[in-house]
């Protein structure tokens, strides 16, 4: 059977990289993009030349995004799944956060995700059999966090996108869900101070920050046939900090 293809945006490190590995191990074709190649992708590209595609692309920039989707479809055909993972975080209280930072957060995290979903759906809808869209949001979008107001707004926006799009494409057997991680030990959380990390660990029932590998298996499940009737949901994976 021809492997299914899943698009993962933002794969040079962190969760996107862990997902790329997990999906390759599970037998999927993976089409990925990021602005830089990062340290780990070259070895993966060497190991899986037939099943892994990477293209430099800037999510939030429509021409670059479209060129990545076109390259994916040309190589693998219409994709089965999309994981909208690429994201940035900018810390700072809203009153003083430069507007250019606010715009860039919205452009990458929200507008970019909508652009990718729109471009991918045109192909998913063109063939029968359904599909999967998974948006990586965050518990910050549900609970808030001082200094991450604009980031929180983009992530809450993704959860709204998930619910509305699930209604729009459900009859075509395409499911749309969000996965909302808690604090993950990736480069993105590198700006947390030692005090903030200690506080997060103290408040987390599981007693530690999460890792990308704590989240990837749940995404693998949502991509599979066993998750065919789950749509419009936000799955929180946070070691219990928001329970
Ligand atoms: N870390 C956390 O605590 C946490 C918690 C909840 C949710 N999340 C979400 O999980 C997702 C992954 O985060 P992470 O922790 O893995 O962050 P990360 O380590 O900073 O990785 C982010 C990835 O996105 C890519 N990226 C960023 N902007 C991009 C753009 N405009 N176009 C293309 N690629 C772009 C980066 O690659 P380049 O820089 O090479 O482009 C990188 O590969 C994000 O959506 C984030 O908001 C993270």
Q: What residue's CA is closest to ligand 1, atom 16?
A: 14
3-state helix, strand, coil in the chain (%, to 5): 50, 15, 35
pLDDT digits (tens, 9 = 90+) for 16-70: 999 999 999 999 999 999 999 999 999 999 999 999 999 999 999 999 999 999 9
Return d(Cα 64, Cα 155) in angstroms, integer: 22
Per-residue model confidence (pLDDT) at position 13: 97
Q: Which residues contact 192 (CB under 8 A, 6 or more apart)?
A: 183, 200
For domain 5-237, give the fold.
Rossmann fold (3.40.50)
Centroid of ligand 1 to alpha carbon of 186 (angstroms): 9
pLDDT digits (tens, 9 = 90+) for 65-110: 999 999 999 999 999 999 999 999 999 999 999 999 999 999 999 9
Centroid of ligand 1 to alpha carbon of 33 (angstroms): 11
Atom of ligand 1 nearest to the CA of 136: 45
Q: Which residues contact 180 (CB under 8 A, 6 or more apart)?
A: 136, 137, 138, 139, 141, 142, 155, 159, 234, 235, 236, 237, 238
pTM: 0.98
Per-residue model confidence (pLDDT) at position 127: 87
Q: What residue's CA is closest to ligand 1, atom 14?
A: 14
Return d(Cα 155, Cα 217) in angstroms, integer: 21
Centroid of ligand 1 to alpha carbon of 127 (angstroms): 30
Judged by DSSP in three states, 135 sits in strand
Domain ranges of the chain: 5-237
Residue numbers annotated as active site: 151
For ligand 1, which residues put their CB under 6 angstroms from it?
A: 9-16, 33-36, 38, 57-60, 85-88, 108, 136, 138, 181, 183-184, 186-189
The Cβ of residue 45 has, within 10 Å, a number of other Cβ atoms equal to 14
- For the cut 90, the answer to whether the pLDDT of residue 144 exceeds it is yes
Atom of ligand 1 nearest to the CA of 17: 43
Atom of ligand 1 nearest to the CA of 108: 31
Centroid of ligand 1 to alpha carbon of 24 (angstroms): 19
């Amino acid at each position: 059977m021809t492997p299914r293809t899943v698009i993962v945006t933002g794969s040079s490190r962190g969760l996107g990289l862990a997902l790329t590995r997990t999906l390759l191990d599970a037998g999927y074709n993976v089409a990925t993009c990021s602005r830089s190649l990062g340290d780990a992708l070259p070895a993966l590209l060497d190991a899986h030349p037939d099943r892994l595609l990477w293209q430099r692309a800037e999510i939030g920039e429509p021409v670059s995004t479209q060129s990545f989707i076109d390259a994916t479809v040309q190589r693998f055909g219409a994709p089965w799944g999309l994981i909208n993972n690429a994201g940035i975080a900018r810390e700072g209280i809203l009153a003083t956060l430069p507007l250019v930072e606010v715009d860039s957060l919205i452009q990458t995290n929200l507008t970019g995700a909508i652009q990718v979903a729109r471009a991918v759906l045109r192909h998913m809808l063109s063939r029968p059999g359904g599909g999967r869209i998974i948006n990586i949001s965050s518990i910050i979008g549900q609970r808030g966090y001082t200094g991450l107001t604009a980031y929180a707004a983009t992530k809450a926006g993704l959860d709204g996108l998930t619910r509305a799009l699930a209604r729009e494409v459900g009859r075509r057997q395409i499911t749309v869900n969000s996965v909302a991680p808690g604090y993950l030990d990736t480069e993105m959380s590198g700006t947390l101070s030692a005090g903030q990390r200690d506080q997060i660990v103290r408040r987390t029932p599981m007693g530690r920050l999460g890792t990308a590998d704590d989240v990837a298996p749940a995404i693998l499940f949502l991509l599979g046939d066993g998750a065919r009737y789950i749509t419009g949901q936000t799955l929180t994976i946070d070691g219990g900090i928001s329970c």
